[in-house]
Amino acid sequence: MELVIRTFENADEAAVVALWRAAGLTRPWNDPHADIARKRTVQPELFLVGELAGEIVASAMAGYDGHRGSLYYLAVSPAQQRRGYARAIMADVERRLEALGCPKLNLMVRRDNTAALGFYARLGYDEQAVVTVGKRLIVDAPTPP
């Protein structure tokens, strides 16, 4: 079955949050609904979902700041993994970013997520000699699991 990749729509929110939870992407300190609301105001055309027979089974949230692209929330339903859907949605993200003139895409992977690191390595991504630092400017309320 072919994955249909399209831009996120408001009606997709519950299904996307459920997908992120099933894929283990949510954390108590990040409110996924707030993350979606924020993304809907900045480059919403780079928030993608993948559908099979009308069911959302994949997502990717990308951005481009004029210097580098970023990727977050790449997810594929656990029941649909290893079928090329992550590769397909990544290729779509890369095409869209390249069309905007984006020269490089950065993403963060938790060090213990060896499956994801292997996946990205197979797509040509390599570990960069940088340290990611962060500072929370807006604290989201904790969300239930």
Q: What is the CATH number of domain 4-122?
A: 3.40.630.30
Model confidence at 145, in pLDDT bands (50, 70, 90)? Answer: low
More confident residue, 62 or 143: 62
What SS3 class is residue 71? Answer: strand
pLDDT digits (tens, 9 = 90+) for 94-135: 999 999 999 999 999 888 889 999 999 999 999 998 888 889
Residue-level pLDDT at 110? 86
Task: Note whether 97 and 67 are within 8 A (CB).
Answer: no
Instruction: Give the Cα separation of 21 and 52 in Å (integer).
Output: 19
Average pLDDT over residues 4-26: 96
Non-local (6+) Cβ contacts of 144 within 8 A are none
- Give the per-residue pLDDT at 21: 95
For the chain, the structural domain boundaries read: 4-122
Torsional class of 54: left (φ above 0), alpha (ψ -120 to 50), beta (otherwise)? left
Q: What is the mean pLDDT of the chain?
A: 93
Separation CA 46–CA 96 (nearest Å): 8
Q: What percent of the chain has a predicted confidence (pLDDT) above 70?
A: 97
Pick the more confident residue, 132 or 10.
10
Confidence class for position 144, pLDDT limits 50, 70, 90: low
* 142 has pLDDT over 90: no
Taking the model in full, what pTM does it have?
Answer: 0.90
**Closest to 68 measured CA to CA, from 48, 93, 97:** 97
SS3 category, 121: helix
Whether 77 contacts 57, CB under 8 Å: yes
**What whole-number distance in Å separates Cα of residue 78 and Cα of residue 19?**
9
How many other β-carbons are positioned within 10 Å of the β-carbon of residue 32?
20
pLDDT at 83 over 90: yes
State the DSSP code for 84.
Answer: S
